[in-house]
Chain A
Amino acid sequence: TQLLEQSPQFLSIQEGENLTVYCNSSSVFSSLQWYRQEPGEGPVLLVTVVTGGEVKKLKRLTFQFGDARKDSSLHITAAQPGDTGLYLCAGARTGYDYKLSFGAGTTVTVRA
């Protein structure tokens, strides 16, 4: 059983549409990260959120950390084909030796 549940598992949208990916858990995390992975490559860190209720924006990407620090969301506005990839959320818990727990990922496909 994964500590972090991501939904949806797959998402296919047209260029210009918006999308939201969710990451949920019953556990509290000291911080939560979002990574993007492209085929044949390793995950690359997009953002880290550390405060409950925090919202971070990275161009067209908006990341939110839940008030209780148990969940997070990633919203992409006006998606572009370059946003295509596997999005992974990862949570860190205090006292766990810098280990991360990863969600299973959401595969996003943006069609031109």
Chain B
Amino acid sequence: DAGITQSPRYKITETGRQVTLMCHQTWSHSYMFWYRQDLGHGLRLIYYSAAADITDKGEVPDGYVVSRSKTENFPLTLESATRSQTSVYFCASTDLTYEQYFGPGTRLTVT
């Protein structure tokens, strides 16, 4: 049972480039979330999705785009990466409870 996976696990990109982080879950959970984790800030919600084709902004959505054409996938795109988007990104899912299950994270460095 794979659960929730993220790819790539590590990514280095240059300022201004577009980059997409992938998230896939095998549980058919309704809700999926994208967080970024930075020292001193804990986990901050970027975007979330209640179901396929339903997405909404979280606390820090600027500079990010999401889509959810299938229940199991929730990609996060940085349209024009900036150094301030250097962070560790976590995807999570839940099925109508408050207990979230997290992926292993993607460490993104923008140079």
Binding site for B on A (CB under 8 A): 2, 6, 9, 30-31, 33, 40-45, 48, 88, 90, 92, 97-100, 102-105
Contacts and interface: CB of A to CB of B under 8 A. Distances in A.
Nearest to A105: B42
Contact of A42 (B58, B99, B105): B105
A99 B44 CA distance: 11
Given A40-B105, A102-B42, A97 B100 contact: no
B101 A45 contact: yes
21 contacts: A2-B41, A2-B42, A9-B40, A33-B98, A40-B105, A42-B90, A42-B103, A43-B90, A43-B102, A44-B102, A48-B98, A88-B42, A90-B43, A92-B98, A97-B50, A97-B56, A98-B50, A99-B33, A102-B35, A102-B42, A104-B40
A102 B94 CA distance: 16
Interface of B: 31, 33, 35, 40-45, 48, 50, 56, 58, 90, 92, 94, 96-105
Given A99-B48, A103-B42, A104-B42, A33 B99 contact: yes
A98 B94 contact: yes
Nearest to A50: B98
Nearest to A89: B42
A33 B97 CA distance: 12
A103 B42 CA distance: 6
Contacts of A42: 90, 92, 102-105
A43 B98 contact: no
B42 A98 contact: no
Contacts of A30: 98
